[in-house]
C-alpha cells in the first residue's frame, strides 16, 4: 500500500514537471512569435510584381530605421534595380532610369553580425569598401552568399549588414534575376529594360 502511494506521488511529480516544461516551451514560442510580429513589414511594388519584406528591427535597428526613413519619404519611388547578377544578387535603391545616382542621407553604421547571414531571400545593405558607408542602396540575395557574412572586425571580414527577408514574392525576385543585362554609362550588369521600383510602403 505504501509502495503504491509512493509510485502514485512519483508519477504525479513527473507529470507536473512535464507540464511545466510544456508551458515554458509554449511561452518561449509565443514570445518569439510576438517579437517577429513586432517587426515592420513593407511591400515593394515593381514593374515585375510585388515583393513583401519583413525588416529585422529587433536585430538591425539602425539599418531598419535608415531604410524606413527612405521608405517613408518615398525616396525609392521610380528608382531601379541597376545591378542584376543571376546566381548572386539583385541590387537597387540608388539610381533612376537614366542611371543617374540620387543624393542620399548620411551613411550609417554597419550592423553586420554573425547572427544575420546573407542567405537566399535576405536583404542586405550595399556599400563601398569602407565598412560604414551604406546609405540607400540594398540588395536581395539570390543564393546563400556565405562570403558576404561577418567573420571579424577587419575591413575585409566585416561583411554586409542583413536587415530583412522576403516573405512573399521571391518568384518576382527570381524573375528579375533572369532579365538580360548589359553595360550602361560604364556600369556593368544593368538590365536592358529597366526594372523599376514603383514604390515601397509599410504594410497596413
Give the separation between CA 115 and CA 68, rounded to whole angstroms.
22
- pLDDT score at 178: 98
Whether residue 128 has pLDDT greater than 60: yes
Locus of grid cell 537597387 = 92
Provide the percentage of residues in the chain whose pLDDT is more than 90: 81
CB atoms within 10 A of CB 169: 20
Q: Is this structure's pTM higher than 0.75?
A: yes
Give the separation between CA 3 and CA 139, rounded to whole angstroms.
68
Residues 140, 123 contacting (CB under 8 angstroms)? yes
pLDDT, tens digit, 9 for 90 and up, residues 98-110: 999 999 999 999 9
Cell of 146: 556565405
Give the separation between CA 95 and CA 39, rounded to whole angstroms.
28
pLDDT, tens digit, 9 for 90 and up, residues 18-53: 666 566 655 555 544 444 568 999 999 999 999 999
Q: What is the mean pLDDT of the chain?
A: 90
pLDDT, tens digit, 9 for 90 and up, residues 61-120: 999 999 999 999 999 999 999 999 999 999 999 999 999 999 999 999 999 999 999 999
- pLDDT score at 2: 53
The average pLDDT across 172-195 equals: 98
Give the separation between CA 140 and CA 2, rounded to whole angstroms.
67
Whether residue 1 has pLDDT greater than 60: no
Give the separation between CA 121 and CA 165, rounded to whole angstroms.
6
Residues 173, 51 contacting (CB under 8 angstroms)? yes
pLDDT bucket at 204, cuts 50 / 70 / 90: confident
In 3D, which of 181, 193, 168 has the Cα closest to residue 89?
Answer: 181
The average pLDDT across 170-189 equals: 97
Amino acid at each position: 500500500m505504501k509502495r503504491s502511494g509512493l509510485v502514485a506521488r512519483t508519477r504525479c511529480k513527473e507529470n507536473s514537471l512535464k507540464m511545466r516544461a510544456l508551458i515554458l516551451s509554449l511561452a518561449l514560442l509565443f514570445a518569439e512569435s510576438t517579437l517577429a510580429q513586432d517587426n515592420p513589414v513593407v511591400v515593394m511594388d515593381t514593374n515585375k510584381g510585388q515583393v513583401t519584406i519583413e525588416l529585422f528591427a529587433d536585430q538591425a535597428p539602425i539599418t531598419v530605421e535608415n531604410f524606413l526613413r527612405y521608405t517613408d519619404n518615398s525616396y525609392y519611388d521610380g528608382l531601379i534595380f541597376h545591378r542584376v547578377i543571376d546566381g548572386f544578387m539583385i541590387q537597387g535603391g540608388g539610381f533612376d532610369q537614366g542611371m543617374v545616382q540620387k543624393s542620399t542621407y548620411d551613411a550609417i553604421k554597419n550592423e553586420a553580425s554573425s547572427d544575420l547571414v546573407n542567405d537566399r531571400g535576405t536583404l542586405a545593405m550595399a556599400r563601398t569598401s569602407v565598412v560604414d558607408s551604406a546609405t540607400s542602396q540594398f540588395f536581395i540575395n539570390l543564393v546563400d552568399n556565405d562570403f558576404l557574412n561577418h567573420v571579424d572586425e577587419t575591413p575585409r571580414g566585416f561583411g554586409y549588414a542583413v536587415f530583412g527577408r522576403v516573405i512573399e514574392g521571391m518568384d518576382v525576385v527570381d524573375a528579375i534575376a533572369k532579365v538580360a543585362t548589359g553595360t550602361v554609362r560604364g556600369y556593368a550588369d544593368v538590365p536592358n529594360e529597366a526594372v523599376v521600383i514603383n514604390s515601397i510602403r509599410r504594410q497596413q
